[in-house]
Structure 1
Amino acid sequence: MISIVLLSVFGLANLFLGFLRSNRILLPAAMLMLGTVLTVNFIDWNAGSQSFFNGMLVVDNFSVVFTGIVVLTALLLIPFSEKYVLDGQPNLAEYYSLLLFSLVGAIMMVSYNHLLMLFLGIEILSVAMYVLAGAQKTNLRSNEAALKYFLMGAFATGILLFGMALVYGATGTFELANIKFAVQNPVNASLTPMLYIGMLMMLIGIGFKVSAAPFHFWTPDVYEGTPTFFTAFMSTVVKTAGFAAFLKLLVQAFPAATAQGLWLPTLTAMCVLTLAIGNVGAVAQSSAKRMLAYSSVSHAGYLLIGLVAFNGELEGASANGIFFYSLAYSVATVAAFGVLKLVSDQRMREDYDALNGLAKTNPLLAFVMTVAMLSLAGIPLTGGFFGKFFVFSAAVENGHIGLVVFAVIMSMVSIYYYLRPIIAMYMRDADSDTIEPLQVSGFQSAALLLLALLTVVLGVLPGIIAGIL
């Protein structure tokens, strides 16, 4: 709860800093704010379950660790907005404030105990993303991305809200524990179809937010048109908060007895479809940024394996797998998008050819991008390897061996498109457009090294945080 209050206050304070007409104070101020929130967040660790707003919001270890991931992701991403500071971006204060406000929505999504609080969290997060997707007002691609995201997001929100209404009609409550009791002890069996339809509609609404197939169609176009800095935020924070909310809904509202008969087949089908479309779609891309968009879809599939493997407990192997995977994925994705932003800002291109010869013109960028690609591919000694290992292990323990085999095959497919940037950087000569050395500030270099270090540490010493839930 303290994190929500601080982010709200800091967001408003940051708007007032914008009146100073000096962007140079905004970047360190935003980092200081996020660092403060990240530190204060862990005050609630092992403090027991704390309820707020008549039990609509609950702060416990689950919410603390996922809040830590989203705030840490934003903190690691902020250094790559330095170009906006140097260019004198007139709306920078508003952009930073929208990011802070969106984190409020993300924290509500991981801490909710009432469906209305989940809805508010999703909307606070989504509205900020709609605006940031269209941040480049003179760029037609950015305008198109914002319009597509807004229209499709509005439809998904309507479906989600309708599903909540049907669940309320069938159970008479919005509170997760009371929904679980009503599902296990139905008063009127004739309302069961209404409950099932409501559950499926909620699954569709949340599936859109996390880019799960077949509700992923907006992802490639929106990610490609959105400014790269905000795309990185969208592909990490939104996905982490969405899956934490998804897991909480599945475990605390709809018990295993009901989920096994309805949710499990649906989630399994979505998982297989997401893995196939994400990985096969990424293979066909010529744009590195669009490849990362399809990569984001594929990683939604791996996280769905964690949901399929849930064992009825919020603090079990499935939850730990999703937590570790979300952290490893977020760190590697921020690193990949950070390098891509630095390259595209100076070379005005986002295709694989823009990376040609990068190992010679800027070895640091090439090294960090290589670590990020290897982690996303799940190569050993990176965080991505153990992320997949923990999720796959939870699935095998619950008997989903066929699904794990399919996921492993898809992981092998992903190696092809994750190696393409590495090949371009190390095995191709720089052409006339890419021969000039890229300019990277010391601040950004430190951020890139930290991201690479975190990725390696998670791959070498996973026990530091594994099993924290």
Structure 2
Amino acid sequence: MLPIILLSVFGIALLFLGFAKSKAILLPATLLFIAIAFGASFVDWGKNYMYFNDMLLSTNLSIAFTAIVLLSAFMVVSLSSSFLEDESAQPAEYYAIMLFSLVGAIMMISFENLIMLFVGVEILSVAMYVLTGSDKRNLRSNEAALKYFLMGSFATGIMLFGLALLYGTSGSFVLSDLRSYVNGGVAYGSPLLLYMGLLLLLVGILFKVSAAPFHFWTPDVYEGAPTLFTAFMSTVVKTAGFAALLRLLSFSFTGIYSFWGVILMAVTVITLVVSNFTAVYQSSFKRMMAYSSISHAGYLLIALTAVGQQSKQALVFYSLAYSVATIAAFGVLLVVSRHQSGEGKPTDESYDAFNGLARQNPLLGFIMTVAMLSLAGIPLTAGFWGKFMVFTTAANRGIFWLLVVAVLMSAVSIYYYFRVIIAMYLRDGQTTAIRVAPFYRYVLIAATILTIVLGILPNLVRSLV
């Protein structure tokens, strides 16, 4: 758990660096800190170690999810050079909060004790509340932060009540003890409390990953938050949340699959149907991406519903494919919206902002096209193999009706993803040539190359878990 210690120390160091007269050192320092934590996460590769009084467990699976979270954070931070140009921004504080949030994400990924799960969720959530409302001059950002905080507080209370019921029925917060109780060990209470506790715990975590019907906060928060933090939220938080669900359900509660499996199937169907049909009617790109995030939560839930060894591989691969494509899409949006506001126009985050983009800026158009194709699950992109692996888990489990729903909803998603591609290549717009900083451009190109390479050679990642 060296990354947790390093990120905590680095976060504090960034706050002190904020006192320096020049802000130029903050971005490279943050990237260096994340890179060091990324490398340190592989120290325990191939070993199973318990840390912090046996409250955190390091395995190859947890290391893989940690690597995805840190890679996502590295790419998002790489796109944050605008902080250094904005006199009202506080980049040292933003970067420090992002590093602290990564500590919470890693706790959610590696927890062995439910107390650590709760602490991780809270560290990550509080950081997201602050970052959502970081643009204090923007009323939409203020409103989004308030909504997120209020609804997130209720979800946290529900989750905490579930943890209390699980402790009351099993007498322990340790996952192995819960597993023994579920599989017929010594009972300290009624099985009804076990079911109620697990249900409330699921509600709390499903809220964090934007699964329907606990998704209502997502469109407003994604639209109101600064775009950079929206990208961070939609990738890091989702990856950590699903890693926590996988750890919880696949280890401790397989003995009562008949209970939570039905619940997850219902949530999956609701999530897929609501998100994809609602995304069709959106005119804002950021709101569309919010419903896209909800729909991808539905696909990830399919792998959880068909829990097994293949589910672990599918979740890791899908999380990586989704994160890379989403960051590339938001990266292009950041460039386009910043260019328009620089010309004295109001920031446009609708589909019209991309009209004619590919003609004047073919590289940005290509990057956005690959990202949209991957999110839609088109072959020769990482998103295709991500969905293929998820659908395979459902087929192997025999849940064919759920597979049919997922395929139909995937077909619906093609409509709103291709709206962006059509706008860039087939519509006339006022977009002129956009100058992109070299490092920013390299990050977007790297995300695109990774999406294509994983689409051609998916076993590069799948064989690691």
**Bin for the TM-score computed over the shorter chain:** over 0.9
Q: 2:334 aligns with which of 341, 353, 370?
A: 341
Cα deviation 1:259-301 (Å, max 9, x = unaligned): 2x21011000000000011111110100011100000000000
Question: 1: CA distance between counterparts of 2:400 and 2:21?
Answer: 58
Cα deviation 1:291-323 (Å, max 9, x = unaligned): 000000000000000000103xxxx10010000
| Cα offset, 1:467, TM superposition | 3.1
Question: 1: CA distance between counterparts of 2:76 and 2:305?
Answer: 30
| Corresponding residue of 1:289 | 286
Moved more, 238-247 or 362-371: 362-371
Amino acid aligned to 1:295? S
TM-score, scaled to structure 2: 0.97
Moved more, 405-414 or 185-194: 185-194
Which residues in structure 2 correspond to 1:9-408 (within 5 Å)?
9-46=9-46, 48-185=47-184, 187-188=186-187, 191-255=190-254, 257-259=255-257, 261-311=258-308, 316-347=309-340, 348-408=347-407
| Cα offset, 1:175, TM superposition | 0.2
Question: 2: CA distance between counterparts of 1:401 and 1:123?
Answer: 37
Q: 1:441 aligns with which of 433, 437, 441?
A: 437
Moved more, 75-84 or 404-413: 75-84
| Cα offset, 1:439, TM superposition | 2.3
Question: 2: CA distance between counterparts of 1:100 and 1:290?
Answer: 26
| Cα offset, 1:465, TM superposition | 1.1
| Cα offset, 1:406, TM superposition | 0.8
Task: Specify the SS of the correspondent of 2:408.
Answer: helix
Q: Please tell me whether the aligned partners of residues 147 and 217 of structure 2 are also in contact (alpha carbons under 8 angstroms).
A: yes
Question: 2: CA distance between counterparts of 1:397 and 1:301?
Answer: 18
CA RMSD of aligned residues (A): 1.1
Amino acid aligned to 2:432? E
Question: 2: CA distance between counterparts of 1:186 and 1:119?
Answer: 25
Cα deviation 1:399-453 (Å, max 9, x = unaligned): 01111111011000000000001000000011xxx33322211111111110100
Question: 2: CA distance between counterparts of 1:90 and 1:187?
Answer: 55
Q: Which runs of 5+ in 1 are unaligned?
A: none
Which residues in structure 2 correspond to 1:419-438 (within 5 Å)?
419-430=418-429, 434-438=430-434
Amino acid aligned to 2:375? L
Question: 1: CA distance between counterparts of 2:332 and 2:213?
Answer: 30
Q: 2:457 aligns with which of 446, 458, 461?
A: 461
Amino acid aligned to 1:403? L
**Residues 436 and 263 of structure 1, relative CA distance in 2, 3 Å threshold:** same
Cα deviation 1:137-179 (Å, max 9, x = unaligned): 0100000000000000000000000000001101100000000
| Corresponding residue of 2:5 | 5
Q: Please tell me whether the aligned partners of residues 169 and 189 of structure 2 are also in contact (alpha carbons under 8 angstroms).
A: no
Amino acid aligned to 1:267? L
| Cα offset, 1:343, TM superposition | 1.0
| Cα offset, 1:252, TM superposition | 1.5
Question: 2: CA distance between counterparts of 1:361 and 1:85?
Answer: 27
Task: Specify the SS of the correspondent of 1:185.
Answer: coil
TM-score, scaled to structure 1: 0.96
Moved more, 74-83 or 287-296: 74-83
Task: Specify the SS of the correspondent of 1:262.
Answer: helix
| Cα offset, 1:463, TM superposition | 1.0
Task: Specify the SS of the correspondent of 2:166.
Answer: helix
Q: Which runs of 5+ in 2 are unaligned?
A: 341-346
Amino acid aligned to 2:120? G
Question: 1: CA distance between counterparts of 2:64 and 2:103?
Answer: 15
Q: 1:450 aligns with which of 424, 446, 451?
A: 446
Cα deviation 1:97-143 (Å, max 9, x = unaligned): 00000000000000000000000000000000000000100100000
**Residues 429 and 243 of structure 1, relative CA distance in 2, 3 Å threshold:** same
| Cα offset, 1:86, TM superposition | 2.3
Question: 2: CA distance between counterparts of 1:79 and 1:360?
Answer: 26
Aligned pairs, how many? 459
Amino acid aligned to 2:297? A
Question: 2: CA distance between counterparts of 1:28 and 1:88?
Answer: 19
Question: 1: CA distance between counterparts of 2:165 and 2:318?
Answer: 33
| Cα offset, 1:187, TM superposition | 4.0
Q: Please tell me whether the aligned partners of residues 335 and 436 of structure 2 are also in contact (alpha carbons under 8 angstroms).
A: yes
Question: 2: CA distance between counterparts of 1:376 and 1:284?
Answer: 18
| Cα offset, 1:90, TM superposition | 3.7
Amino acid aligned to 1:462? P
| Cα offset, 1:378, TM superposition | 0.2
